[in-house]
Structure 1
Amino acid sequence: MLGKVNTGHPRGHRVNRPARRWIVGGVALLALAAALLAVAVLVVPLLRPPGPRPPFQLPVACGETWQLGTYPGHGEYDVDLFPTKGEAWGRPVLASADGEVTEAGINGALGGRTPQDPDGPRGRGGGYWVKIDHGGRWETQYLHLLEPPPVRVGQRVVRGEQIGRVGSTGDSGAPHLHYEQRRGWEKVETHFDGKPSGITVDDREYTVRRKSNNCAPGRS
């Protein structure tokens, strides 16, 4: 006669594998829901239409006149700024509008062009640079700065606050400020003091002069 078959489970032990599977499945669903929520928090703001253009001003000292220009192959809407008087090296670069710094460091490779060696080795990219988020999916970029920016990522800045100095780091042939305004993911024509710069395409050389109204309250 065959004895009792031992299943390997002590008496009174309850196998609850289906319940365990439900728990594991529930945890996985919660993790998936949390991941989808995190993606939505990041993506949804990017899908919203941009807000109105901030009141951008020239990123240079109040009352100064600068030359804004472009040249073939420079990049559509990209603006290079040169002072019309005095040396470009070391001139203050100012925030065009209130915002939060999102980049402050090195873009590409610095190269070796300095006031002491202006014909030193050329670098790559933007060199020392700063990027500012102005809200409403608007941002500005400031490239080829002379030295490490005096601002940090996450710092709030106000219009007219100094964020760097003019230099020639990165892929730059001479000291100047390369400047961009962006709406969403796209570069757009720069506006200063409510007026378009006129720099849109880079199929020809084009320059224009503008006086800065990036002034403290009560000054112009």
Structure 2
Amino acid sequence: MTPGQPRPRSRTRRSRAARVAIVLAALAAVAALVAVAVVVVPLLLPPGPRPPFQLPVACGETWQLGTYPGHDDYDVDMFPTEGEAWGRPVLASYAGTVTEAGINGAVGGRTRENPQGPRGRGGGYWVKIDHGGRWETQYLHLLEPPPVRVGQRVAQGERIGRVGSTGNSGAPHLHYEQRRGWEKVETHFDGAASGITHDDREYTVKRTSNNCVAG
């Protein structure tokens, strides 16, 4: 190239394209870091105070809460003390956002009409709710696909399913858990501990629901 001649356009375009690519890559890296921070930082914070959870069944009903060896610590199985379990309303223990609503494992074939049908796997139809402060609740073995969806905000006392026997279930009941961070903890209802803790033996308690605020 002789002095005074303009620089070839192809080289200029390549240079500009390279600068644009570098800027875009930097922006993508920043966006990725922000996304990771949004997910990770809340998980590193200590859990907030326990929400005022209520029994996940209708106001005034008395249910039997139980566990058995091998059930896993703090897991609670719930059965009504009166009437049939099939189809009983399952209510949100506290307000929150649905994070799971579908099938956990495999549904199986146990129904009201065929209660001894083939078992499924896992929790069957289930719902998980995030209550904020790193607290969540889980509701398993529901009768049918949940009437709520992921991302939906639910109120305390709002119906999120019905009692069934899907998944690895021997009889219609509600399997229920409260979690703080990544850990299951003893369930509390209406400000009192349930008494269902370790699965070293089979035992039951009875509790009456004060979940009296309709969603």
Give the TM-score, by structure 1 length: 0.89
Structure 1 segment 65-104 matched on structure 2, within 5 A: 65-104=62-101
Partner of 2:48, secondary structure, is coil
Find out whether 1:149 has 2:146 as its counterpart. yes
Aligned to 2:184: 187
Shift of the 136–13 alpha-carbon distance from structure 1 to 2, 3 Å rule, reads same
Structure 1 segment 1-220 matched on structure 2, within 5 A: 11-14=5-8, 15=11, 21-216=18-213
Distance in 1 between the 2:17 and 2:144 partners?
A: 59
1:187, CA displacement in angstroms?
0.7
Distance in 1 between the 2:96 and 2:32 partners?
A: 29
Distance in 1 between the 2:120 and 2:20 partners?
A: 57
Letter of the structure 2 residue corresponding to residue 69 of structure 1: G
Distance in 1 between the 2:155 and 2:21 partners?
A: 50
Letter of the structure 2 residue corresponding to residue 12 of structure 1: P
Distance in 2 between the 1:125 and 1:161 partners?
A: 24
How many pairs were matched up?
209
Sequence identity percentage: 78
Distance in 1 between the 2:59 and 2:28 partners?
A: 53
Letter of the structure 2 residue corresponding to residue 46 of structure 1: L
1:24, CA displacement in angstroms?
3.4
In structure 2, runs of 5+ residues without a counterpart are: none
Distance in 2 between the 1:26 and 1:177 partners?
A: 54
Larger radius of gyration: 1
Partner of 1:150, secondary structure, is coil
Partner of 2:204, secondary structure, is strand
1:165, CA displacement in angstroms?
0.6
Distance in 2 between the 1:215 and 1:20 partners?
A: 63
Give the TM-score, by structure 2 length: 0.91
Spell out, residue by residue over 1:145-203, the C-alpha distance to the aligned partner (whole angstroms, 9 max, x if none): 01111111121111111111100000000000000001111111100010111112111
1:104, CA displacement in angstroms?
1.0
Partner of 1:45, secondary structure, is helix
Letter of the structure 1 residue corresponding to residue 127 of structure 2: V
Runs of at least 4 residues off by over 6 Å: none
1:30, CA displacement in angstroms?
2.3
Distance in 2 between the 1:130 and 1:103 partners?
A: 5
1:25, CA displacement in angstroms?
3.0
